[in-house]
Structure 1
């Protein structure tokens, strides 16, 4: 009835773990022209740091050394104001401060000028950061600093990660404005400048979008900037594609507000919860996982996954007895029975194969023993000491915290957004620490090769498994003819190209290997000498065309471990995560039983998990709040486009769509969210709209609301721009609602004369809004 999915307390638990840190290729040295100069004695007790700040060069902005690392310029921190050309000089600083403190740029609204738009003062705030030791500060260096601070990467790792995400060989901390005149790299620097411009515009729009939430919650600039940058990074592919599509018509602010970049915008309905969850991470305390696993209700993971064009929901419980025997129970939601059902483990023979003791040691996925190690848990796979793993954790009390903020996005869709944890619920963040480097391959170990890939494999064909491992790596010859591809590789050399492809257009033009995950495909071209070139492959919806997008270069290496040759690839963390590799892992290739197999190499050390897991009370509260029916979106009432409708036309549409009366309980104390806007209703007939209006501006408008005698919700407000005041009214009729959504018909009117507003015409629309 339910698909079988992996769930164990080891390297691959039920919940896919989001990447926080990984060892990756060190970035190239910066070629910035600015830097620090010693101004005093030979001991260098004080010095100065000079550099430039930009989207375009920023004149009249505040720059500081962020000594307390809170992404803000505080009193007492070395501060300067930029001059023409974005130049600044921080005086009287120590080398230790320069080496250990990030840089911050704050826009002074009404004073700072972006020289991309000379003579016009910036009217919307934003904040930029850069890693310690930098001199150039920009939206791109802000991405780099975010990787360092939020994901625990080293500066070189962070630069390499952003470099790969940008698909460039250039250093993202270089001055792209000055570089635009470079004879060799000028065009690429110009492209990066455009990415920075759109990123700046996205930051401004997001700050506007959530301004009210931020003011009311008192959130720090640090948290808000990090949240926005993470949103930008998640949509960086879309940003770059939109820039390319815009061509000569490029307009950063226009793109930032376009439907093409909808994914760059924060959801005002979730911002407060996201910020609270971030604070919880910082305030978590050490957890006694040993007691939880052996004496309590165990650890509980929740996961949703796609199956047969739909979403399946499951959770798992991990417990251990006093003898070190681990018990894993998996459950799936049975839609027809409206219940959680235990999933059978029968017939699962899958194995993991670890390199040690002179060769590959294959053990069953559930061959684990657990023992306590203080508050922590020690896991052994197949009693192999070289595959030892120590699990520690941090915990928080979830009482009265919003339940949806601690679940992955698919689960949020089936939870009442107002649901909160009650007393007894505890949340945990886990850290997995390996004592040794672990080399691991995967083996399905099915009865027959025809059972591979869910029984869809055809034995003897190209692109088909060769044996019951069901784990083959296939040869791409790179000769441009896809018909010559598809043989199962028997040597590592078959995957390595003598030279890099020149201007490849199709997958068949590249050798190397494919990486799949997160609805994406990346190709890693392995070139003799250790260079690995990364491309993202995009196909049209019908698959009739391909587009290769360069994503920078990294390194590969072959080494001998336990007399066996293994090939590992350093991947930027962002790409590794999208390719479904465990946190910190590197792709691994090795020849076993005559064929090249794929797996991962996990370096020794710790990796943290960004996914929350729960105690028994938390698990039961999540299950109680689960409502599968919420997954089905409400339908809009179809209405013909007509921007000159009257109130009488609206009433006719409402009657035709079988509307029902609004009640105070539908509105008071709630928030409605639609696209780029949010209506927040108080109990006393007042409220505030935060978001976009028809002219594209983001506004914060107070409004009044009432329910009239016809059962319609009526909102009134006004907006002044360029000295002209418009009176605005929205009338809404309710069709149906559930805990997450409301389907309604709206009628918008506006007039520059309040006395004529009643008679003004407007547009009638059928819409579905989210409820919080």
Structure 2
């Protein structure tokens, strides 16, 4: 029924798999001309397509806006700009912002037409090219604490490309080698721009524009785009020669790119909460009261499971960590045992590899902070600090991860005793770590799918071997477990390799990809990506650049560390910032990772005991069951009588005022919010995709149908609108309805107007 919530360590340390930050050099074009005061000029370009007449500035205060006093200019034809009188320090530390000037800026993808909807682009400090893709990179830096290299790697991985997302994809489209891929990235940028425009329009409709900071607005929209990036790329591929960025951005295929109008204000508030958080006394929280509590969901055998953990200390300072899982059969929370978890972590320190159970940690207080020693080892220290906010009157689901939101009463809010915390984890020194399954017998490795004694098979209960590739072109000579690092190093690079068997080195695997790192004597590491046919019957090697590797002696032990590009590391399931590590232990080469010293913040909220109990009270596992839409034949010229028939066929039941008053129904195009007095507000798309905010009246008629009436005037023409709803099924999270929309320019003809009858499932909040 259950598994350990955090299988890779005890609760506090595993709330975040920590990683350090690496540094990166920029790619800005700085002139050699100085005015004698140390000032230089910064040249670059701005694009969706190249942007002419856009405002560009160096964002000295890092607020994603061009403010008075910041170095500012305007782009010329071809998107070019020059920022004069800036210092090297400013260039190195300040992002670049590009602001569209509505009615003046021209996107040269559409020459001669000025842009009529605003948006803002950003780029990391040191970059010169500014685009929707660099905006994604800058968002990863600012919002997730990534280094520039890590941020670029993250976006590369999401885009499925090996090209640098900060490069000029417009100019690159003519490249003989990578032109086609640059063209694809240009299309992604175009759709991203269109999505940004639509979402900005929505936010400005929903929220008082004066109350929204540009940095919050940009971050909120970019995060939504990143979550939907797979959908965007699929839609582009499907569109083929019929590609139209603005059309795709408003299509049903890209509903995932749209902000939820009923959540926008809440999401912006949560972002403001993060900035307003104050220092927390984590040590006191652990020793006085109900400790720290975190909630996580996980998948087990295809089913979504839910759990929470509690960390606290007794009067003697002894830390206890208890994890609970939700028992779906008993409808209760039960303590979870980790007896079945035999896995170990092996860390290098004090001249030896020290292996210990993954949940073996020594936790103590350090002032207001918490100090963790993995395996009780002083060289494996992490310091956890935190900030707190009061959660009073805030919606519970907004502070939980996405999976948990599906089983939380969407109307539930915290009371004035609930506190939330954001944690920062700092590693005191570089960590060298290998993995050991520590099973009872070799046959238990790899879930028991082992033929002992064969090539490509584990040699012992570590279940962690690196296998030799001879590189002689014959795969039958490959597959022995390596016993020395030298067996993995080639004396010379392979010449024109075609297949995996032509290369030595090691393999790196991700969820849906395989890379080869050819380790060449002298420290060069050549990288290849393996591509297989759809049926897997053939393979090809794609060169993916080169990097370096190094042998070094750490704590008297020889280790091999590969400086793997961050994008390939992420695709190969290494922790962010980690470097592949190889070392010989117990007679065989083992794989692991080297994590550099440093710290990073976690975006996951943890809670005090009062908040924990309020979350549990709002938990409703039955909400996980999705309601289904009633199947209704398409007919765009339906009458009210057709709607009535469909409602009867779908076994609709009467609405009550309690189903509606004080709630919001939201769907792909917008949201209906209902007040107690028969009024309401619609926020979302209408007609040609424009976002509107329309007041409406609502009533429940004698047949139990919910009737909404409003009107909208555009270009001097008034349109009368009515939405008729029949309730099929309702729970706290969703409502299944039969809907019938009517519209006409003659109010007296509204009763007889035809429209489309649909069976739909909407979310409720």
Q: Which one is further off, 705-714 or 319-328?
A: 319-328
Deviation at 1:156, TM superposition (A): 4.7
Distance verdict in 2 for CA 1:111–1:753, change over 3 Å: farther
Match of 1:397 in 2: 390
Match of 2:438 in 1: 445
Deviation at 1:410, TM superposition (A): 1.0
Alignment of 1:520-599 (within 5 A): 520-521=512-513, 523=515, 525-528=517-520, 529-531=523-525, 533=527, 535=529, 555-570=548-563, 581-599=574-592
CA–CA separation in structure 2 for the residues paired with 1:12 and 1:495: 37
Q: Secondary structure at the match of 2:370?
A: strand
Q: Secondary structure at the match of 2:410?
A: coil
| Corresponding position: 1:58 with 2:51 | yes
Task: Tell me which of 283, 296, 299 is aligned to 1:303.
Answer: 296
TM-score (norm: length of structure 2): 0.89
Q: Is the 8 A contact 2:488 2:504 kept in 1?
A: no
Alignment of 1:157-172 (within 5 A): 157-163=150-156, 165-166=158-159, 168=161, 170-172=163-165
Match of 1:346 in 2: 339
CA–CA separation in structure 2 for the residues paired with 1:134 and 1:21: 22
TM-score (norm: length of structure 1): 0.88
CA–CA separation in structure 2 for the residues paired with 1:515 and 1:132: 32
Deviation at 1:35, TM superposition (A): 4.2
Distance verdict in 2 for CA 1:747–1:624, change over 3 Å: same
Q: Secondary structure at the match of 1:268?
A: coil
Match of 1:733 in 2: 726
Match of 1:173 in 2: 166
Q: Secondary structure at the match of 1:386?
A: helix
Q: Secondary structure at the match of 2:379?
A: strand
CA–CA separation in structure 2 for the residues paired with 1:141 and 1:278: 22
Distance verdict in 2 for CA 1:151–1:477, change over 3 Å: farther
CA–CA separation in structure 2 for the residues paired with 1:184 and 1:463: 37
Match of 1:433 in 2: 426
Q: Secondary structure at the match of 1:416?
A: coil
Q: Secondary structure at the match of 2:422?
A: strand
Task: Tell me which of 666, 678, 691 is aligned to 1:673.
Answer: 666
Alignment of 1:234-633 (within 5 A): 234-321=227-314, 323=316, 325-455=318-448, 457=450, 459-460=452-453, 464-473=457-466, 488-492=481-485, 499=493, 512-516=506-510, 520-521=512-513, 523=515, 525-528=517-520, 529-531=523-525, 533=527, 535=529, 555-570=548-563, 581-633=574-626
Deviation at 1:451, TM superposition (A): 3.3
Q: Is the 8 A contact 1:6 1:12 kept in 2?
A: no
CA–CA separation in structure 2 for the residues paired with 1:322 and 1:465: 46
Deviation at 1:375, TM superposition (A): 1.4
Q: Secondary structure at the match of 2:263?
A: helix
Distance verdict in 2 for CA 1:22–1:235, change over 3 Å: farther
Match of 1:648 in 2: 641
Distance verdict in 2 for CA 1:388–1:92, change over 3 Å: closer
| Corresponding position: 1:748 with 2:747 | no
CA–CA separation in structure 2 for the residues paired with 1:678 and 1:282: 28
CA deviation profile, 1:274-319 (whole Å, cap 9, x unmatched):
3222222222222222222233322222111111211111112223
Distance verdict in 2 for CA 1:472–1:48, change over 3 Å: closer
CA–CA separation in structure 2 for the residues paired with 1:521 and 1:527: 19
Distance verdict in 2 for CA 1:111–1:687, change over 3 Å: farther
Deviation at 1:355, TM superposition (A): 0.9
Match of 2:21 in 1: 22
Q: Secondary structure at the match of 2:2?
A: coil
| Corresponding position: 1:149 with 2:118 | no
Q: Is the 8 A contact 2:653 2:726 kept in 1?
A: yes
Match of 1:634 in 2: 627
| Corresponding position: 1:663 with 2:656 | yes
CA–CA separation in structure 1 for the residues paired with 2:568 and 2:710: 47
What is the aligned residue count? 762
Q: Is the 8 A contact 1:526 1:556 kept in 2?
A: no
Q: Secondary structure at the match of 1:739?
A: coil
Distance verdict in 2 for CA 1:218–1:95, change over 3 Å: same
Deviation at 1:219, TM superposition (A): 2.1
Deviation at 1:257, TM superposition (A): 3.3
